[in-house]
């Protein structure tokens, strides 16, 4: 008689454009691409496996699923009758002065039977509404767990890329320090024979100290990155993990964003908001049904006698149906319905907000992917050019056509271009893994 309203009848139109602001790249749907296929580095795969087993956030999310499942089981049990086996014995002695007959009496009674304890006939759908709300809450918790898992995979990948980037940066700083120490030795020897000025020596010494400081900073950043990776995987790595460099990660595979309506349905956070919206509808149905009469059934059936010897000779039973209709409750039921309707409004707003945030996240990452692709090409071309300029500067210095200060200046530009290339490649990898996550990577059932 009281059916919960269907989500399709009230689902708000997604408050986002029909297409992405940037042109979509054709490719595989991220939600249908397993993380093993997207992240080809074997060492990164082993780290993700560790995280999926040991990460505490994922454990908490999994426990929440179990909690919601148990709550759903309790709600389903409310719709079924409770039947129990009961047995009892009663021994009553009445003294003579309390009886008109003037003689003491003793009675015995033995009962054995099945009892049906206060079973509510769900004629109006109150219990079914509560059960549906619990089921949708359980499904929402499952979607939250999937969302945590997808986020964890992307976070581990980004932390791994940070470790690789800081490792490469430390190696670059170490090489730079060695190069400038050798340059200082050359300039110092040149000063001894009058081929170099004090300014060149002081400049070389400053560059050496600056390179030493940069190396210390790079090693510190490497330790911080390793600590974050250890936190995510829930384990401790003794040292920087072995693996390919940033240029060997191979995350350049195109992912197709498709249409916004398709992507948003595949994202587990949007699916969780959808399930919570369904749960709010079911709660309204239960609150409405609470205004209707409650039909309760209580029954017993069994055996009764005045002695154990003839217990199985007597049959006893009782059936007690009852009906109650709320007349005045101080506004409790009305307030309950208003509360359920208010929570539905909140669920609708949260659903729309989740959709908007999801759209913005994907749109930002699509734009970043296109921009970083162009930046990477420019950074690679710039580094190649700076490398040629460094070769020319060294050659000019070797034949005396340039001072060593000119060489140091070109070295500085070459090192800067190498660092820029490293940062752009790292940003490109981060964007690829975040786009994989934003498109519901690996979340398709």
pLDDT band for position 378 (50/70/90)? Answer: very high
Neighbours of 164 (CB within 10 A): 28
**pLDDT tens per residue across span 305-339:** 565 555 555 666 666 676 777 776 677 777 877 77
CB neighbour list of residue 48: distance below 8 Å, 6 or more residues apart? 35, 39, 152, 153, 156, 157
pLDDT band for position 197 (50/70/90)? Answer: low
pLDDT of residue 381: 93
Q: Report the alpha-carbon distance of residue 147 to residue 352 in Å, rounded.
A: 18
Neighbours of 168 (CB within 10 A): 20
pLDDT of residue 355: 84
**pLDDT tens per residue across span 342-369:** 878 887 888 888 888 888 888 888 888 8
| Exposed e or buried b per residue across 36-60, where buried means at least 16 C-beta atoms within 10 angstroms of its C-beta | eebbebeebeebbebbbeebeebee
**pLDDT tens per residue across span 107-127:** 777 676 666 566 666 666 666
Place of tokens 């208003």: 338
Mean pLDDT of the chain: 76
pLDDT of residue 270: 83
CB neighbour list of residue 167: distance below 8 Å, 6 or more residues apart? 222, 240
What predicted TM-score, i.e. pTM, was given to this entire model? 0.71
pLDDT band for position 382 (50/70/90)? Answer: very high
CA nearest to 343, candidates 351, 331, 354, 333? 351
pLDDT of residue 9: 44
| Exposed e or buried b per residue across 400-435, where buried means at least 16 C-beta atoms within 10 angstroms of its C-beta | eebbbbebbebbebbbebbbbbbebbbbbbbbbbbb
**pLDDT tens per residue across span 143-153:** 888 888 888 88
Q: Are 267 and 366 a contacting pair, CB within 8 Å? A: no
pLDDT band for position 167 (50/70/90)? Answer: confident
Place of tokens 């190498």: 418
pLDDT of residue 245: 72
pLDDT of residue 90: 78
Residue 176 has pLDDT above 80, yes or no: yes
């Amino acid at each position: 008689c009281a059916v919960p309203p269907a989500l399709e009848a009230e689902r708000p139109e997604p408050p986002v454009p029909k297409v992405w602001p940037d042109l979509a790249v054709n490719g595989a749907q991220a939600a249908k691409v397993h993380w093993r296929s997207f992240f080809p580095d074997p060492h990164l795969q082993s780290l993700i496996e560790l995280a999926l087993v040991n990460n505490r956030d994922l454990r908490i999310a999994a426990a929440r699923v179990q909690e919601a499942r148990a709550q759903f089981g309790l709600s389903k049990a409310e719709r079924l009758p409770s039947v129990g086996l009961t047995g009892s014995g009663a021994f009553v002695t009445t003294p003579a002065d309390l009886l008109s007959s003037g003689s003491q009496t003793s009675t015995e009674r033995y009962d054995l039977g099945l009892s049906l304890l206060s079973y509510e006939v769900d004629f109006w759908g109150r219990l079914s509404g509560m059960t549906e709300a619990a089921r949708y809450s359980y499904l929402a918790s499952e979607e939250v767990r999937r969302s945590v898992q997808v986020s964890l995979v992307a976070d581990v990948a980004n932390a791994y890329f940070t470790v690789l980037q800081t490792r490469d940066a430390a190696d670059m700083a170490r090489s730079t320090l060695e190069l400038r120490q050798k340059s200082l030795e050359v300039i110092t020897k040149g000063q001894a024979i009058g081929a170099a000025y004090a300014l060149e020596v002081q400049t070389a010494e400053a560059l050496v100290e600056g390179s030493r400081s940069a190396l210390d900073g790079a090693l510190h950043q490497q330790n911080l990155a390793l600590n974050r990776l250890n936190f995510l995987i829930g384990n401790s790595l003794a040292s920087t993990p072995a693996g390919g460099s940033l240029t060997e990660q191979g995350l350049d595979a195109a992912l197709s964003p498709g249409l916004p309506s398709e992507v948003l349905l595949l994202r587990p956070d949007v699916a969780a908001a959808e399930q919570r919206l369904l749960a709010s509808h079911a709660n309204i149905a239960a609150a409405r049904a609470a205004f209707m009469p409650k039909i309760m059934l209580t029954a017993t059936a069994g055996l009764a006698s005045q002695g154990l010897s003839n217990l199985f000779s007597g049959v006893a039973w009782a059936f007690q149906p009852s009906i109650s209709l709320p007349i005045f409750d101080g506004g409790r039921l009305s307030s309950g319905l208003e509360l359920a309707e208010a929570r539905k409004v909140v669920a609708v707003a949260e659903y729309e907000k989740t959709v908007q945030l999801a759209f913005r996240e994907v749109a930002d990452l699509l734009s970043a992917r296109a921009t970083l692709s162009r930046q990477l090409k420019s950074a690679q071309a710039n580094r190649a050019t700076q490398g040629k300029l460094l070769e020319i500067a060294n050659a000019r210095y070797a034949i005396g056509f340039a001072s060593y200060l000119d060489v140091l200046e070109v070295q500085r530009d070459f090192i800067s271009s190498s660092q820029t290339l490293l940062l752009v490649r790292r940003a490109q990898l981060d964007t690829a893994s975040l786009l994989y996550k934003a498109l519901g990577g690996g979340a398709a059932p």
